[in-house]
Amino acid sequence: MILNFLSLIFVVGVHMFCHGEVAAAQKKVGQARLVVDLVTLGSGERLRGAFTGLDADGNVTMAVQRDWLKKTRPEMYDDVTRDEMVEAKQAMTELRTRIQTWLSENPKPNALVTFLEVELERVDARLAKFDDAVAGDVGSQFVLLKFQRRDVKYSFAQSPENRRIALLAWRERFENVETREAADLEKQLRDRGIDPAADIPDLAGRLPATRQDDNEWAARRAIIEYELAGKLDFQGIGKALVRTDDGAAKVGIEQLLPELLPQLLQDQLGGQLADLLQEPGTKPQQGSAKSTSDFSGPIREAERDGRKGFRVTTVDLNLQQKRANVETRFLAKLPNGKWETIWSHKASSDPSKPRPDIQRQIENDPQVAEALKLAKSLGLGAGGQLETAMNFGSATMEAQKAADQAFFRFLDANVNRLDGPRLSWPAKRLLDEK
């Protein structure tokens, strides 16, 4: 999911937060040598930590180390932690009630029940620790700060590589992470035998307990049920979406090539081969890859199956820019009955790059082989059209692999616990069922 705790939600939150004039701050070379995100509020207070998201109301959340905030901004620390214990207890009590309600619904299968029971025990144990804790001490390494985006005077978001170094350094509790350069911290990590490019930091348990609104809880339930109670996946080109999970016939990108080839060739051959390659009784889909994806079909199927979430992956081929694009999304049903994209990732690939292994895999697919046979029999392979189509097909499969990896990281981050990492997504992605 993800690269746990902050890594994936940072990507979401940072891209939402650092936009327009704010994003321009990323060009400052001096800040890029560090590993933490920075923000200066209109009040003049400068904060160092990690952005974790932006909600629909424009509230930015930033995680900062408790000790750093207490030392450098004591007044702010006292203000944000004054009611921290009360809020943490409320969050955990609410979570316990939600888990108990979920269990009372007799969920299936046993894997989901076991997960919920284990989580309930963990939440109870954390509540017990609160009762035994010293007054005001919630025991978390980080404090979560919230402020309005309009109150930000300046901000800088680190690269994913530097951000991972920060997470690992925080995990190892290195000193002065907020002010040290990336190269210095990376060397210290490697001296400990930690590879910043391979090690996946998990700091979810070091965040303070925070309440989840109904939308976030619905999204979290959808992710957990998708992982433990049965996956629902769709894949296709434009509006042509087919089900691809275990509940349907397996369809991969290579099996969608008979649709990709006509799309590519019709631009170059006036549609002649495109028409011939369509299935009998169907009409050519003019410009299908450029159309807006329509998820009403998958939504209807999800509703019929009583699902709360599903994944959909779409392909867009851009001949002019010579790019093969694959976008994968996870949609969840919110309490108001609407379906919303709560996570998405787009992967692009250059079709001019040779990929002989992938191309052989495509050529060995029976459906693609038949399409190629037909094209060659018509003498339409001259001029490199078929080669272009195959190159785009290979690039598409490579982009899909990258999109799949991003989705698996998203899942990994969000199926370990029910109180984090925080789920945050753009507010204007609402999809009404039609």
216-250 pLDDT, tens digit each: 999 999 999 999 999 999 998 866 788 988 766 55
Average pLDDT over residues 242-267: 58
- State whether 165 and 236 are in the same domain: no
Q: How confident is the model at residue 340 (pLDDT cuts 50, 70, 90)?
A: very high
Confirm whether 95 is domain-assigned: no
Q: Give pLDDT, residue 97.
A: 98
Share of the chain above pLDDT 70, in %: 73
- Please determine, for residue 345, whether its predicted confidence score (pLDDT) is greater than 80: yes
φ, ψ (nearest 5 deg) of residue 372: -65, -40
Least-confidence region, from 126-135, 159-168, 203-212, 319-328: 126-135
Q: How confident is the model at residue 182 (pLDDT cuts 50, 70, 90)?
A: very high
Q: Residue 168 maps to which CATH number?
A: 2.30.30.100
- Please determine, for residue 433, whether its predicted confidence score (pLDDT) is greater than 60: no
* Residue appearing with tokens 């019709």: 266
Gyration radius from the chain CA atoms: 25
Scored b (16 or more CB within 10 A) or e, 405-432 reads ebbebbbbbbbbbbbbbbbbbbeeeebe
- Please determine, for residue 261, whether its predicted confidence score (pLDDT) is greater than 90: no
Strand 309-318 and strand 233-237: the pairing is parallel
- State whether 54 and 197 are in the same domain: yes
pTM over 0.75: no
Confirm whether 279 is domain-assigned: yes
- State whether 184 and 327 are in the same domain: no
* More confident: 356 or 330: 330
Q: Give pLDDT, residue 52.
A: 82
Share of the chain above pLDDT 90, in %: 44
* More confident: 167 or 423: 167
Q: Give pLDDT, residue 13.
A: 38
- State whether 38 and 66 are in the same domain: yes
Boundary-marking domain end, from 184, 211, 238: 211
Confirm whether 222 is domain-assigned: no
Q: Give pLDDT, residue 136.
A: 53
Boundary-marking domain end, from 152, 181, 211: 211
- State whether 191 and 236 are in the same domain: no
Q: Give pLDDT, residue 113.
A: 97
Q: Give pLDDT, residue 122.
A: 94
Confirm whether 388 is domain-assigned: yes
- Please determine, for residue 294, whether its predicted confidence score (pLDDT) is greater than 50: yes
Q: Which of 282, 348, 272 is nearest to 315 (CA)?
A: 348
How many Å apart are CA 169 and CA 36, to the nearest integer?
11
**Top-ranked range on mean pLDDT: pick from 28-42, 109-123, 150-164, 196-210:** 109-123
Confirm whether 31 is domain-assigned: yes
Average pLDDT over residues 267-286: 35
Q: Give pLDDT, residue 5.
A: 38
Q: Give pLDDT, residue 49.
A: 95
In order of 99, 237, 255, 264, 290, the CA distances from 325 in angstroms are 39, 11, 17, 14, 11
Q: Give pLDDT, residue 104.
A: 97
Question: Mind listing the pLDDT tens digit for each residue in 57-83?
Answer: 778 889 999 999 999 999 999 998 888
- State whether 289 and 411 are in the same domain: yes
What single-letter DSSP state applies at residue 377?
H
- Please determine, for residue 352, whether its predicted confidence score (pLDDT) is greater than 70: yes
**Top-ranked range on mean pLDDT: pick from 19-23, 261-265, 424-428:** 424-428
- State whether 238 and 363 are in the same domain: yes
Confirm whether 132 is domain-assigned: no
Q: How confident is the model at residue 8 (pLDDT cuts 50, 70, 90)?
A: very low
- State whether 34 and 146 are in the same domain: yes
**Residue 157 bridge partners (DSSP):** none
- State whether 148 and 275 are in the same domain: no
Least-confidence region, from 35-49, 311-325, 370-384: 370-384
How many Å apart are CA 179 and CA 176, to the nearest integer?
6
Instruction: List, as own/partner pairs, every contact residues 273-282 make where C-beta atoms lie below 8 angstroms and the sequence separation is at least 24, other chains included.
Output: 273/374, 273/375, 273/378, 273/380, 276/374, 276/378, 277/371, 277/374, 277/375
* Residue appearing with tokens 């029999």: 377
- State whether 174 and 238 are in the same domain: no
Confirm whether 412 is domain-assigned: yes
Q: Give pLDDT, residue 58.
A: 76
Which tokens sit at 206? 């070091």
HEC per residue, 167-206: HHHHHCCCCCCCCCCHHHHHHHHHHCCCCCCCCCCCCHHH
- Please determine, for residue 1, whether its predicted confidence score (pLDDT) is greater than 50: no
- Please determine, for residue 22, whether its predicted confidence score (pLDDT) is greater than 70: no
Q: How confident is the model at residue 111 (pLDDT cuts 50, 70, 90)?
A: very high
- State whether 265 and 188 are in the same domain: no
Number of domains in the chain: 2
Which tokens sit at 123? 């939440």
- State whether 235 and 206 are in the same domain: no
Domain that holds residue 405: 228-431
How many Å apart are CA 333 and CA 240, to the nearest integer?
22
- Please determine, for residue 276, whether its predicted confidence score (pLDDT) is greater than 50: no
Confirm whether 362 is domain-assigned: yes
Between vectors from CA 341 to CA 337 and to CA 345, what angle results, nearest 5°?
A: 170
Q: Which of 361, 407, 92 is nearest to 252 (CA)?
A: 361
- Please determine, for residue 417, whether its predicted confidence score (pLDDT) is greater than 80: yes
- Please determine, for residue 413, whether its predicted confidence score (pLDDT) is greater than 80: yes
Boundary-marking domain end, from 211, 239, 262: 211
Q: How confident is the model at residue 105 (pLDDT cuts 50, 70, 90)?
A: very high
Average pLDDT over residues 358-374: 70
